[in-house]
Amino acid sequence: MKPYSDVAAGMRTIGLLGGMSWESTVPYYRIINETVKEALGGLHSAKIVLVSVDFEPIERMQHADEWEETAKILAAEARSVERGGAQCLVLCTNTMHKVASEIQKAIDIPLLHIATATGRAVTSAGLAKVGLLGTKFTMEETFYRQQLENDYALDVMIPTEPDRNTVHRIIYDELCLGIIHESSREAFNQVLASLVGSGAEGVILGCTEISMLVRHEDSAVPLFDTAELHAKYAARWALQEDS
């Protein structure tokens, strides 16, 4: 085992900005530490600065289309993460990457974008046409899909409007509250099947809570859990295995 001083000198500190919702922030912390432990062995764990926000007011601003205000809040919290000694920022949510550029402008450390982790995984799997599940903001607006399409040449499909409404409702009314209903699992599986029937070679779970509900064994095509991919990307970055 390497001396602690050697490991500490080589491992960078990850900054997590979470709480949106806290249900999906927990896996980030666990997966990052599991990845570091697997790489370094023993009792090693990640060096992390975590700031977790109160999601209630942010959720209200999302649905009121007050994105500029959410950007100001998260930019201020990101500066707190940076002041705490973080060397990168990981925004533990897909939807709030809508204001990622505003957050990046407020800090001097790199923001590790969730679409980067996702796009790399999809292209590494050799897929070109994928479905996207998430909040209506993530599915319907361009901030997420466009990066996948432009940077990774992916053909990104989204569900029908009724299916988008169903997915959005389950995310906010159930998953963000830690509620799991079998009827909702079945509803998601039907949406997955519809995307596959329309030609999706894989499906991106583009909301960090969805993996609480959707299981890999329920899908006929590969599923890409963005929370897991993002967390592992951050861990590799901290270990200086990934730029």
- Residue in 227, 184, 233 with CA at minimum distance from that of residue 207: 227
Cα(166)–Cα(215) distance, rounded to whole angstroms?
18
93 catalytic residue (yes or no) = yes
Count CB-CB contacts under 10 A for residue 193. 15
Q: Which of 25, 70, 93, 138 is catalytic?
A: 93
Q: Which of 70, 207, 208, 226 is catalytic?
A: 207
Burial 39-75 (b: 16+ CB within 10 A, else e): bbeeebebbbbbbebebeebbebbeeeebebbbbbbb
Cα(165)–Cα(109) distance, rounded to whole angstroms?
36
Amino acid occupying residue 42: G
Residues annotated as catalytic (active site), given as ranges: 93, 207
